Amino acid sequence: MTATDESVEPPTLTGDDVLRIDDADFAAGRVALVTGAASGIGRATSLVLAANGLTVVATDVDEDGLAETRDRGDELDFPGDIHPEPADLTDDEHLESVVDAAAGYGDLAYLANVAGMQHISPLDEFPMEVYDRMQDVMLRAPVYLSKLVLPHLRDSGGGSVGNMASVHGHYVTADKVAYNVAKFGLRGLTQSIAAEGAGTVRSFSVSTGYVKTPLVTDQIPDTAEQRGISVQEVVEDVMLGQSRTKEMMEPVDVGNLFAFGFSKHATHLNGGDLLFDGGMTLTYE
């Protein structure tokens, strides 16, 4: 068997690993808007929030993926409904209509900014149009969405914004300048919301290492081939090499962090970061 014969598949979310939180605010009358909801972490976050009884407005450019997210919530018979609202995060009018649509389903109380993308290139060759697009999707859209939802979050009597950062919001790797800048920026947005939330609106960021999503698992066989090592070695030595926890995180684990961050148990999480990196950035060999 060659290295490329092996693969790591993104898991399908079942109800078993979902964190269920007893919170009176997790009810159908309260709405969570989730971006990047057609895939990976955004899909898992939508499903976890629906499992906790919230009404979820799921947005993404990928309409088919959004429908699959909704269908998975139906299959699992989760109490909260998932409403797909396709939108391109680079288009301000789309952002405005998605927020209007979300507010139409009840008290818009939570925003999860999850959508993202990656581009690998040295700084001196980094294409500026790619840089601009990544900032639009990963930083400008979260800022504008936060601005648009803020009055709703205040009116809901207490809401919060969760931003998907990364270990790359703490330290960087080479050849990922647009990603690094966006993730550091999201932590600035998080702290700005907390500073202006006046105790009514909270914000937090979530920082993880590698998570088993298509974005990551699709690259593993190629990396194995390029380096002449096995798929298992890519996972253990390349991806988890600096991590003390030698197991990749699953999307549901990240969705659970958003649910916790939005819950009453996270009242004192206000501007802070949930660093769940398996020890990657805080230990040194």
Q: Are 112 and 45 in contact (CB under 8 A)?
A: yes
Rule CB under 6 A: say whether 243 interacts with ligand NAD.
no
- For ligand NAD, give the closer residue by CB, 39 or 156: 39
Contact pick of 101, 215, 229, 238 for ligand NAD (by CB under 6 A): 215
Is residue 179 annotated as part of the catalytic site, yes or no? yes
For the chain, list the strands marked E by DSSP.
30-35, 55-59, 82-84, 107-113, 159-164, 201-208, 273-276
Q: Which stretch binds ligand NAD (CB under 6 A): 18-26, 115-123, 224-232, 268-276?
A: 115-123
Token output for 237: 């030595």
Among positions 36, 80, 197, 261, the unique one binding ligand NAD when judged by CB under 6 A: 36
Interaction between residue 13 and ligand NAD (CB under 6 A): no
| Residue 240 sits in the site that holds ligand NAD (CB under 6 A) | no
Q: Which residues of 126-160 are buried (b: 16+ CB within 10 A; e: fewer)?
A: beeeebebbbbbbbbbbbbbbebbbebbeebeebb
Number of residues that bind ligand NAD (CB under 6 A): 27
Exposed/middle/buried for 89, CB within 10 Å: 0-12, 13-18, 19+? buried
217 is an interface residue for ligand NAD by CB under 6 A: no
Residue in the structure block whose two tokens are 């040194």 = 284
The answer to the question of residue 137 lying near ligand NAD (CB under 6 A) is: yes
State the binding string over 262-281 for ligand NAD (x if CB under 6 A, else -): --------------------
Could you tell me the two tokens for 132? Answer: 């601009």
Measured CA to CA in angstroms, residue 239 lies from 8, 116, 121, 217, 244 at distances of 13, 19, 19, 11, 11
Among 57, 211, 220, 224, binds ligand NAD (CB under 6 A): 211
- Least separation, in Å, of the C-beta of 233 and ligand NAD? 18
What type of residue sits at position 270?
A: N
Q: Are 80 and 53 in contact (CB under 8 A)?
A: yes
253 part of the interface to ligand NAD, by CB under 6 A? no
Among positions 65, 185, 221, 255, the unique one binding ligand NAD when judged by CB under 6 A: 65
- Euclidean distance between CA atoms 35 and 194, whole angstroms: 20
Write down the least CB distance from residue 118 to ligand NAD, Å.
7
Binding site residues, ligand NAD, CB under 6 A: 36, 38-42, 60-62, 65, 88-90, 114-117, 137, 164, 166, 208, 210-211, 213-216
